[in-house]
Amino acid sequence: MLFVKDILTGMMRVFKTLVLLFAAFTLLIFGLAFGIMLQGPTEKPSLVDCEEKIVKVAEESSPFVVSVIATGDISDFRSPLDDLFPQHEERSEMSGSGFFISQDGLVLTNRHVIRDEDADYTVFTDDGEELSAEIYAIDPVYDLAVLKVEGSGFPVAPLGSSHDLRVGQTAVAIGNALGELQNTVSVGIVSGLGRNVAARGFDRIEMLDNVIQTDAGINEGNSGGPLLDRKGKVIGINTAMAMDAQNIGFAIPIDDAQRAIRGVIEEGEIVYPFLGVQYVIVDEEVKEEEGLSVSYGALITGDQAVEPGSAADKAGIRKGDVILEVDGVTVDINNSLVRLITAYDPGDKVSLTVMRGEERLEIDVSLGEREY
């Protein structure tokens, strides 16, 4: 009997345990369901919501975006095609875009938009106001320039950051498309980051370093206008488009333009350090062609590899040297020499690691100041 009683007692304990577990499980399920009910639906933003955000960006951004018109002698704007299609006008117009970076009338645009310093420049605001503009500062490194118009209280573009950009995020371009369609808005995505491309201008080929690639429509006349994120903050300056492709445009990251913006607002000029060398980035192909022992760095080369009297010349840099590092940071396709040098100020001392033949040297350089 004692044995049977022990069995029954054990069975009762098991039964009670099962009942308690079932009750706890039921309370857990009920609690989760109640919590979901309180939280409400978690639907993804609708297409309408996305459209409303873009509309808001366009409405809030248009007041600080301007059209830039350059008027000058027809010879100032000549291209090779002009010999095939003669023009008889004495005056001609070129156009671009820009945006206010200060309330007292400073307008950021592209350097190639104001390439003729003898032309007359006019800025048209979104509300149709026509303002005479003067060239205020020219960036000697990036394709940037600043115009100045008289007045005060202008709406200033909110500047974002290009450091945190991600491929695939929304990008909004605003500008004077084709030189006729003022404040045209186009929407796309950030298609690529850190691109290095060669852009052909009217009189030269310009290397664009570390630019943003976007499929937001960038057309002639958009140059100098802002590239914005979904919050309406400027993340880039629209600069170039691929002529032999569709929906491939490029913008200078706003973080690269910050030095120029701070310079003109605080000092009234744009100042960069200057090393004074011509170079090509070393890769496997250059290594093989030049018989080098390294596949990275900056090979000092060209007709004027080292500018006479420059900081590099004074420090003893020679044609054929390969600059491997700047203050311990490797020079390569992702960290060009000019990008590393422009992080400093004129007068700063930097240590260059240089490969000369098979010899590795450490050379100290006091940077000069770049003149445009």
Looking at the structure, tell me whether residues 277 and 364 fall in a common domain: yes
Q: What is the pLDDT of residue 325?
A: 96
Rounded to whole angstroms, the Cα distance separating 225 from 64 reads 10
Looking at the structure, tell me whether residues 245 and 300 fall in a common domain: no
Q: What is the pLDDT of residue 53?
A: 85
Strands 170-177 and 130-138: unpaired
Rounded to whole angstroms, the Cα distance separating 39 from 45 reads 16
Give per-residue pLDDT as tens, 238-278.
Answer: 998 876 667 788 999 999 899 889 889 988 888 889 999 99
Looking at the structure, tell me whether residues 362 and 319 fall in a common domain: yes
Whole-Å CA distances, 268 to 197, 217, 260, 343: 30, 33, 10, 19
Is residue 315 one of the residues assigned to a domain? Answer: yes
Q: Cβ(97)–Cβ(124) under 8 Å?
A: no
Q: What is the pLDDT of residue 142?
A: 87
Q: What is the CATH number of the domain that holds 219?
A: 2.40.10.10
* Rounded percentage of the chain residues whose pLDDT exceeds 90: 48
Q: Cβ(182)–Cβ(67) under 8 Å?
A: yes
Q: In which residue ranges of the chain is pLDDT below 50?
A: 1-5, 7-8, 36, 38, 42, 74-90, 202
Amino acid residing at 62: S
Looking at the structure, tell me whether residues 252 and 182 fall in a common domain: yes
Strands 359-366 and 349-356: antiparallel
Rounded to whole angstroms, the Cα distance separating 301 from 303 reads 7
Q: What is the pLDDT of residue 274?
A: 93
Looking at the structure, tell me whether residues 300 and 252 fall in a common domain: no
Q: Cβ(274)–Cβ(346) under 8 Å?
A: yes
Token pair 């206010």 in the structure block, residue: 100
Instruction: Give 188: exposed, middle or buried? Use CB within 10 Å, 0-12, 13-18, 19+.
Output: middle
Looking at the structure, tell me whether residues 216 and 290 fall in a common domain: no
Looking at the structure, tell me whether residues 252 and 278 fall in a common domain: no
112: which residues sit within 8 A by CB, 6+ positions away? 96, 143, 201, 202, 206, 223
Is residue 148 one of the residues assigned to a domain? Answer: no
Q: Cβ(230)–Cβ(54) under 8 Å?
A: yes
Which of 232, 257, 282 represents a domain boundary (last residue)? 257
Is residue 352 one of the residues assigned to a domain? Answer: yes
Looking at the structure, tell me whether residues 239 and 317 fall in a common domain: no
Q: Cβ(297)–Cβ(322) under 8 Å?
A: yes
Rounded to whole angstroms, the Cα distance separating 140 from 372 reads 5
Which of 206, 225, 257 represents a domain boundary (last residue)? 257
Q: What is the pLDDT of residue 118?
A: 84
**Residues annotated as catalytic (active site), given as ranges:** 112, 143, 223
DSSP-H helix ranges across the chain: 2-39, 47-61, 254-266, 284-290, 311-315, 337-341
Q: What is the pLDDT of residue 206?
A: 63
Q: What is the CATH number of the domain that holds 307?
A: 2.30.42.10
Q: What is the pLDDT of residue 10?
A: 54
260: which residues sit within 8 A by CB, 6+ positions away? 108, 137, 139, 142, 144, 146, 270
Q: What is the pLDDT of residue 30?
A: 56
Distant-in-sequence contacts of 189-195, Cβ < 8 A, 24+ apart: 189/214, 189/215, 189/216, 190/165, 190/166, 190/214, 191/167, 191/215, 191/248, 192/167, 193/165, 193/167, 194/334, 195/250
Is residue 191 one of the residues assigned to a domain? Answer: yes
Buried b (16+ CB within 10 A) or exposed e, 292-315: beeebbbbbbeeebbeeebbbbeb
Is residue 151 one of the residues assigned to a domain? Answer: no
Which of 200, 233, 257 represents a domain boundary (last residue)? 257
Domain of 228?
170-257
Structural domain count of the chain: 2
